[in-house]
Amino acid sequence: MTGRQSAAPATDPRGRRLSRRIAVVSGFLGTLLGVTTNLYSAEFRRAIESSGVLSADVLPVLLAAVVASGTTAVAYWWIVRRQQPPQIAEGTVAIRTDIVKHMESEEDSVVGRTLHYLEARRGTDDLVVFLHGIGLDANDFRPYMAESRFHCLALTLYGFDATEPADRYKPISLQAHVEILGYALRKIKKMYPRKRLSVVGFSFGADMVFFLTRYAPEVLDDLQLHRVVLLDPNANSTTTTISARIAKMTPDRQLPELVEILRSASDVTEFRYLCEYLYKITAKDFA
């Protein structure tokens, strides 16, 4: 893995723009209500001073005041609702027996396992699926999903979910990993058949998109992807500086080899990044 995730901005320019819009719209509607009330203040007073029965001339005035007040409230609620981030929900894709027809090797038994994902639903025509780096998971995309204007779904790849029991399952081949990804993308596309599907892959997640063209090209034909964005893909083995070390790690020497990875840091910033990264992945099964 070579890429680094940038921190979320401390302030949101869109939030400031929306706040200004709220002030402008609310001020305009409030002014409209005030003008309406002032124009018909005499009618209001006469209605109050009367015997309590509102005349036909006063009803349009009250109606205008109510409509103006209601419009102000509804507009404010709608604008505030738009600036609130959508709820990020959890979901799963069950790996059922229909995956067998896509698996090349019978030794790669994965039926019964579950893939987890996070989803931020939005009423757009575009669905963006995020694929994380090696050892990470869907949670790394939470800040981006909250800020994006698209319908977003971040998938945790097979074997990378910390809550899944790993001791009951043996490691599978790279080709099987790719075929499982293709299976999940097909399921997601079936969930939202009318949306344009785009895939964003980070580091190893970007590599998985490349592997789809090699091991499961029919998946790409079925999905008809709208766009593919590759963030820090590993163009060749020279860029897999951390992934290569993890792949060669021996079970009885994990601790000293992890420490050796930390020693490769060139400055304090890189050291902190490596610590954060290794802290995340050591909760999972390296195999």
Tell me how far apart the alpha carbons of residues 278 and 273 are, in angstroms, rounded to a whole number: 9
- How far from chain centre, in Å, is Cα 71? 33
Per-residue confidence (pLDDT) for residue 45, from 0 to 100: 60
What does the pLDDT look like over 66-113, one tens digit per residue?
665 666 666 555 554 555 556 899 999 999 888 876 676 655 678 888
Q: Is the pLDDT of residue 197 over 60?
A: yes
Q: Is the pLDDT of residue 28 over 60?
A: yes
Q: How confident is the model at residue 5 (pLDDT cuts 50, 70, 90)?
A: very low
Q: Is the pLDDT of residue 141 over 80?
A: yes
Q: What is the 3-state secondary structure (H, E, C) of 75-127?
A: HHHHHHHHHCCCCEEEEEEECCHHHHHHCCCCCCCCCCCEEEEEEECCCCCEE
Q: Report which of 255, 115, 245, 96 is spatially closest to residue 181, judged by C-alpha positions.
A: 115
Per-residue confidence (pLDDT) for residue 140, from 0 to 100: 93
Instruction: Report the mean per-residue pLDDT for the chain.
Output: 78
Tell me how far apart the alpha carbons of residues 268 and 7 are, in angstroms, rounded to a whole number: 17
Better-scored residue on pLDDT, 280 or 49 = 280
| Residue-level length of the chain | 287
Q: How confident is the model at residue 23 (pLDDT cuts 50, 70, 90)?
A: low
